[in-house]
Every structure is written in structure tokens, then in C-alpha cells.
């Protein structure tokens, strides 16, 4: 599943490329997020779309989990809450969603809702890069510039040992 930030930005007519200067990626699939945005634009409020996303996420829908992370990170229809965004991105990351892994790297690198931890940022960027997330390798390398060789080695070991908390997934 490839999450293309640029196509969503254009398709939705929104600039979803960053949360401040942090670089939180936005969802490229429009299913859940588009319904949410259409409801906002139509001034129907966000309760129904957010409820639908929560219901889908309760069924372990990785796209809904990712979309909820984006909504909380951006404060769209819900109060901006990086800790809650991180919780949803982690659930999506456990489904091997590379954009969610990338976003967790951003959150750890910039201390957004989680304590700054370059080793964890490096690990999440590495996992996303291994799946082809275009910007992840560059972010990983930028993070590595702030780390010692020992910290990088530890992060690489963590990335190699990482397993989703839901190992029964078949994606």
C-alpha cells in the first residue's frame, strides 16, 4: 500500500505536507479522509466522519488508523493531540504502513507527543525506507548525523528486530 502525500494534497486541494515544520505525512488514499474533508467543507461537522473512522479503526482498518493519526496531528475536526496521533500512527505502523512509520520517525525526531529519541526516530525511518517510503532514507540519514556510531548501531539492531505487535496480519 503506497501513501502518496502529493496526490492527496492536490486531490483534496489542501496543503497536507506538514504539521508545522515537522513533516507529518498525510494519507494518500481518499476513502476515509475524503469523507471527513467533504463533511467539513459541506459544513456538516466532523462528528459523523470521525465516528466512521473510529468504527473502522476498531475493526483494525489500517487506513482508518492512519487517517485518525493525521487528523489528530493536524487538528482537523478533533483537538490537535500529538500523543493521540502517535497512538494511531503506531497502530497503522503495526500494519506495516510505511507512511505511519515515517510519521512516527518525525514525531520522535521532533518531540511531538513523545519524548525526543533519535534512536527510535532512526528505527522508524529505517523501517519506512525499507518499504520504499521516498523521504524516509533522507530523514534517517539526517537523524543519523545527530547520533553516535553506537546509537546508530543500536537503532539498526532495533529495526532488524522489530515485529508488528499484530503478527497475524497478512498484508
Q: Is 170 part of a structural domain of the chain?
A: no
Predicted local confidence at residue 166, as pLDDT: 54
Counting DSSP H helices and E strands in the chain, the numbers are 9, 0
Q: Is 88 part of a structural domain of the chain?
A: yes
91-101: per-residue pLDDT in tens? 999 999 999 99
Please give the Cα distance from 168 to 82 (Å, whole number). 28
Predicted local confidence at residue 31, as pLDDT: 43
Predicted local confidence at residue 107, as pLDDT: 96
Place of cell 508545522: 20
**Nearest 5 degrees, angle CA 107-CA 111-CA 49?**
45
- Residue 29: name the closest of 40, 37, 21 by CA: 37
C-alpha cell at 42: 459541506
Q: Is 84 part of a structural domain of the chain?
A: yes
Predicted local confidence at residue 164, as pLDDT: 81
Residue ranges for the chain with pLDDT beneath 50:
1-21, 27-44, 167-171
Predicted local confidence at residue 35, as pLDDT: 45
Cα dist from 69 to 54, 78, 145, 160, 168, whole Å: 11, 11, 28, 25, 22
Predicted local confidence at residue 135, as pLDDT: 94
**Nearest 5 degrees, angle CA 17-CA 132-CA 111?**
50
Q: Is 146 part of a structural domain of the chain?
A: yes
Which CATH number fits the domain that encloses residue 48? 1.25.40.10
Predicted local confidence at residue 23, as pLDDT: 57
Q: Is 171 part of a structural domain of the chain?
A: no
Q: Is 107 part of a structural domain of the chain?
A: yes
Predicted local confidence at residue 24, as pLDDT: 61
Number of domains in the chain: 1
Whether the predicted model's global pTM rises above the 0.75 cut: no
User: Do 114 and 86 meet the contact criterion of CB atoms below 8 Å apart?
Assistant: yes
Domain that holds residue 82: 5-161
Q: Is 166 part of a structural domain of the chain?
A: no
Q: Is 28 part of a structural domain of the chain?
A: yes
Amino acid at each position: 500500500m503506497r501513501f502518496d502525500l502529493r496526490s492527496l494534497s492536490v486531490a483534496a486541494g489542501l496543503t497536507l505536507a506538514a504539521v508545522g515544520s515537522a513533516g507529518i505525512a498525510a494519507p494518500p488514499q481518499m476513502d476515509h479522509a475524503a469523507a471527513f474533508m467533504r463533511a467539513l467543507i459541506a459544513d456538516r461537522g466532523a462528528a459523523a466522519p470521525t465516528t466512521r473512522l473510529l468504527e473502522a479503526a476498531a475493526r483494525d482498518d489500517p487506513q482508518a488508523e492512519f487517517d485518525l493519526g493525521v487528523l489528530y496531528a493536524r487538528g482537523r475536526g478533533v483537538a490537535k493531540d500529538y500523543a493521540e496521533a502517535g497512538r494511531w500512527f503506531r497502530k497503522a505502523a503495526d500494519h506495516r504502513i510505511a507512511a505511519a512509520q515515517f510519521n512516527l520517525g518525525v514525531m520522535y525526531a521532533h518531540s511531538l507527543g513523545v519524548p525526543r529519541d533519535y534512536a527510535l526516530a532512526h528505527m522508524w525511518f529505517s523501517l519506512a525506507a525499507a518499504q520504499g517510503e521516498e523521504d524516509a532514507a533522507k530523514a534517517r540519514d539526517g537523524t543519523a548525523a545527530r547520533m553516535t556510531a553506537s546509537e546508530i548501531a543500536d537503532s539498526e539492531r532495533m529495526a532488524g528486530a522489530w515485529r508488528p505487535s499484530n503478527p497475524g496480519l497478512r498484508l
